[in-house]
Structure 1
Amino acid sequence: MYRFLVTALLLCTGGVLQAQQQEGAAAFSKDIRQPGVQVFDVRTAEEYNTGHLPNALQADYTNKTEFNDRVKYLDKQKPVYIYCLSGGRSSKAAQWMRENGFSKVIELENGVNAWKQAGLPLEGVNEKKPQLTMDAYNKGTAKGWVLTDVGAAWCPPCKQLEPVLTQFLKQHQQVKLMKVDGGNDTDVMKTIGAKGLPTLILYKDGKEVWRKQGVATAEELAAAVK
């Protein structure tokens, strides 16, 4: 059951009254398994990489540019289950989201700290993997048409981009895909100048011919290979 606090938040859009809603770890764990739920981690990327809830997307609430850029790719009509380390940042982020048209935002009471105390598992704990090397990257982009996708599973706009890439690659089978993990392959990202997620870079025989930071359309990608 939801814990309704005494203070209600007045949404800016339409004057609709929406109460702050929090759930304990056990209820939160159960509810995020529902179809269509969006799980949203508003800690830093470094905190996220120490362990996160299943299927969680990430945006650092304290980095306003990053937060505002990523939150717009969440579906306002679907439930958002939000959390941080102890509840402070997620409470502020949830309030902002309610005031900006999100229909249902549920907070994890006391955050990851409460999740751990309840004995619930986190994903991604101690999952270190070797970085992609520049040598491997250069070899992978040296011949023919190659599209580099710098993204991450936890990045909301990257999720938005996935079906676009699937459609494009199906229609342009001469183009190979090179994946760069935005949460792991930081050396490659720095070298190729990928400063945000997602970043798309198109190569022809090892030469960069097109680049875009952000979500591209299938039409933009198709025009780039002509």
Structure 2
Amino acid sequence: MLFKNLCLATIFSIAILSSCHSQSTTNVDVVNFEQAITKGNMQLLDVRTPAEYQSGHLSNALLADWNNEAEFKRRTAALDKSKPVYTYCLSGVRSAAATQWLRQQGFTAYHLTGGINAWKKAGRPVEQATAVTQITKADYEAMIPRDKTVLVDISAVWCPPCKVMAPIIDSLAQANSGKLVLVKIDGGNQTELCKILNVNAFPTLIIYKQGKLVWQKEGLVSAKEIDKQLQ
């Protein structure tokens, strides 16, 4: 009985140590985080809010707000599990939780210890959004010719599903060259137009025929489905 209890205690201790080690290895300091994201072949994910992202973010970072559960799950579903994910937030709390969740989903994930606060404190650069002229409703309507089929792609550079959809959209536009007009809108910057069009998620795809809206869908869509709607 004593031997059995000793074995169980040993196994339990090993499990705890392994768990602690696994958890600690998800934390990456500024120096190693910078080295990892500079090498490429990975995915950089900002898990803060859109407003925080606009105030300053790491170069080439995608965005999935950890505090918005539905949005976070939708956007991270488009990430590639064959590539590691490096996450960050303001101070490291949200990114630690997001990293744990990503690992549970089968991703190899790490997070920046101390968040973007530590990044800035170490003198590392951040990018900030610049003010852009907003497209008005009249401007938008002028982009939609009434004698053509028009595919509008409202995306954002920081949106993971948009990255997946981009080559599909481009391929469809090329295959339908001459009879299809492709209009690309940066929804991340054109916030006023998104409100007017009631666009709440990226990407949002809209098809017009003879100037009339005939189809609209958000998120990941197959090339087959889009092509069917274009015919």
SS of alignment partner, residue 39 of structure 1: strand
**RMSD of equivalent CA atoms:** 1.7
- Amino acid in the other structure paired with 2:111: E
Identify, as 1 or 2, the structure richer in helix. 2
CA distance in 1, matches of 2:94, 2:23: 17
Matched, 1:128 2:131: yes
Structure 2: stretches of 5+ with no match in the other structure: 1-15
- 1:99-154 per-residue CA deviation (whole Å, 9 max, x = no partner) reads 1211x21111100000100111101x251111111111000013311111111010
Matched, 1:68 2:73: yes
SS of alignment partner, residue 209 of structure 1: strand
Instruction: Name the structure 1 match of 2:215.
Output: 210
Matched, 1:29 2:29: no
Relative to the length of structure 2, the TM-score reads 0.87
CA distance in 2, matches of 1:9, 1:221: 45
Matched, 1:160 2:152: no
CA distance in 2, matches of 1:82, 1:50: 17
% same residue: 41
SS of alignment partner, residue 202 of structure 1: strand
How many pairs were matched up? 213
Identify, as 1 or 2, the structure richer in strand. 1
Contact 1:148 1:179 in 2 (8 A): yes
SS of alignment partner, residue 45 of structure 2: strand
Give the CA deviation at 1:169.
0.5
Give the CA deviation at 1:35.
2.7
Instruction: Name the structure 2 match of 1:95.
Output: 100
Q: 2:174 aligns with which of 170, 191, 202?
A: 170
- Amino acid in the other structure paired with 2:165: L
SS of alignment partner, residue 49 of structure 1: helix
CA distance in 2, matches of 1:145, 1:184: 25
Give the CA deviation at 1:8.
5.2
Q: 1:48 aligns with which of 50, 53, 59?
A: 53
- 1:62-97 per-residue CA deviation (whole Å, 9 max, x = no partner) reads 000100111111112211110000000000000111
Larger-Rg structure: 2
Structure 1: stretches of 5+ with no match in the other structure: 1-5, 11-16
